[in-house]
Copies of this chain bind each other. A is one copy, B any other.
């Protein structure tokens, strides 16, 4: 089972993810993405969905029209784990 990051590991990982914000409930990281319209937003979600399934690690997310809010956390670890960091980097890659 994957473990929660230590404070030191966490600080190091988050330095590479400047657009993600720590959240506490659940313990994880969050980022908002905004697109031109719904098709842009849902197209992005579809790409994230496929990569998430492939990584066997899924986001908690919501969508309102052109906006997508993503929270990454690892339930099995009780908080932020390396799997969240890896998925955040994949998602950042898609959003560029």
> Which A positions have Cβ atoms within 8 angstroms of B?
38-39, 42, 45-46, 49, 52-53, 58-65
Q: Is the CB of B42 within 8 A of A49?
A: yes
CB distance from A90 to the nearest CB of B (A): 15
Q: Is the CB of B65 within 8 A of A62?
A: no
Closest to A65 in B: B58
Measured between alpha carbons, how far is A39 from B56 in the docked complex, in Å? 11
Measured between alpha carbons, how far is A4 from B96 in the docked complex, in Å? 39
The 5 closest A-B pairs by CB, nearest first: A62-B62, A42-B49, A60-B64, A38-B58, A58-B65
Set B38, B45, B49: member contacting A52, Cβ < 8 A: B38
